[in-house]
A and B are shown apart, each in its own frame.
Chain A
């Protein structure tokens, strides 16, 4: 086989190897843009937004940890609800010694308002220093305290 063909193949392999590297890098650039900023007027509507009740869309969007070892963590809220506790299967896994395995459940009521259920936790869940039971109504900004951790619904 001619020298020329071999040389073309040899350089072709090098070029293709780098092309592969760059396509991989291109595919992972999403890591750099973890959040996407949308303008609400004329922007692309969020996928699946139509399914949520109107009230929910105007209501809280995230659950934020405002105090405790997980401070700064946010979890997006959706209609399926959230389970909070120390058990690793929870949606928000607390590292708080005062939290129970399955401690608190948040869910969206049919009226579009969020409710909290304390799941018979050992040390309790407190809102305004009152221990809550099940079906406690939550507003945006209500501070929910579990041990050292304070949670808050945010828009």
Chain B
């Protein structure tokens, strides 16, 4: 006779610790490699650097043991490894650019990484239960819009390389769009969990598709209008694509209606075509995509990136031995091409696998979550990382036109790093809630469960 018992969820915290040490080991080996290749010596501060890195991440691991015991054990090691590899590559490009101690981009990036991890821990502390975020659905919406529009304001708004994405206060520049991504995901999740019945059930069937009512098209049109506005006003193709894609994906997760994807895609194609006809900067991008090796092209960034990746080949040139610094923005927009040159196809595919696993853990969390809001939030956060990787890697390998988005955890830039650590913290919080065994979560929800009211057998009212 057999019985089927549900798999008792292990907390997996020990697995997490082992993988964490493994990840830091890889990062330290990469650090040694860069030191040997560029300077010809093992970095003098190897042990202190490694020690600090280990201390910060193990500190976060202890916070998880204490505050989110059942959280997913794989998110933290994966994020740590990606963040560490990014730091090593940024340092390597600092060396190539001749920057010395004190003006290192990597130095600032280390500070941002530490700040990101600390903020993630704070998020885990403050948000004991992700469902409280649902109360702030509309506040999140307003916050998201304000953050998105902040770079448009005079005085604090700041334009770099033709895109108006930054704000600058007291010498610190920040890209608020990265944080807006989280706020808008919270809003989409809260909004869709409340309206999904109307969006999925009402409407006529046409050619096997469930078409929504005209009035239910409102939200998707608003999201579309917003992303078009970002495209026009801030000239940022990447975030425009990210927000609209995120909304359509969450709409699909909420309603299970393919018609929304078709409506979304056709709206996007129409918008992209009109933008292509109207705006010169979109045309430039598309032309560069179609013909990057044109000698009269306005930028040779795409071409240089492709040459670099070709130079790397299958096994790569080895860290510190290629020429990734010849490409513009080699440590931010093009950091993935830098990795492709120095670690080769094999290394870069390992990194893509890490991203795929990160996204998979997020989607797995969404499947495990017991209520709609957590499901949508986890799916949206995971999808935003996946879509961002697609837009970045697709851009530099010429699958789609290149757009300036940051590569999560790798790119130099504090706002992106902080936003991604907060995303990881939220996913950890949701997964803790989803994986917690029933026995432990019921006790704090149904207090007077046993014995408080003595049952009268057979009695009723």
With both chains docked as a complex, state the minimum distance between the C-beta of B339 and any C-beta of chain A, in angstroms.
10
Does B22 sit at the interface, judged by CB under 8 A? yes
B187-238 residues with Cβ-Cβ distance < 8 A to A are: none
Interface string of B419-461 (1 = CB under 8 A from A): 0000000000000000000110111011001110101111111
Does A54 sit at the interface, judged by CB under 8 A? no
Contact in complex: A17, B458 (CB < 8 Å): no
Does A115 sit at the interface, judged by CB under 8 A? yes
Interface string of A1-44 (1 = CB under 8 A from B): 10001110111111011111101110110110111111111000
Whether A40 contacts B74 in the complex (CB less than 8 A), given A13-B347, A83-B442, A136-B460, comes out as: no
Query: Interface residues of B, CB < 8 Å — how many?
Result: 69
Whether A135 contacts B455 in the complex (CB less than 8 A), given A27-B73, A34-B7, comes out as: yes
A69-116 residues with Cβ-Cβ distance < 8 A to B are: 75-76, 78-83, 88-91, 93, 105, 107-111, 113, 115
Contact in complex: A83, B445 (CB < 8 Å): yes
Does A134 sit at the interface, judged by CB under 8 A? yes
Contact in complex: A9, B371 (CB < 8 Å): no
Whether A80 contacts B443 in the complex (CB less than 8 A), given A12-B29, A35-B4, comes out as: yes
Partner of B19, one of A23, A78, A81: A23
Interface centre among B22, B78, B347, B449 (most CB of A within 10 A): B449
Does B52 sit at the interface, judged by CB under 8 A? no
With both chains docked as a complex, state the minimum distance between the C-beta of B340 and any C-beta of chain A, in angstroms.
13
Residues of B near A6 (CB, < 8 A) are: 33, 36-37, 318, 321
Residues of A near B371 (CB, < 8 A) are: 88, 93
B1-21 residues with Cβ-Cβ distance < 8 A to A are: 1-8, 10, 12, 15, 19
Q: How far is the CA of A108 from the CA of B30 in the complex (A)?
A: 57
Chain A residue with Cβ nearest B440: A80
Does A147 sit at the interface, judged by CB under 8 A? no
Partner of B74, one of A24, A48, A88, A107: A24
Q: How far is the CA of A148 from the CA of B120 in the complex (A)?
A: 42
Contact in complex: B2, A88 (CB < 8 Å): no
Partner of B364, one of A31, A41, A113: A31
Contact in complex: B74, A81 (CB < 8 Å): no
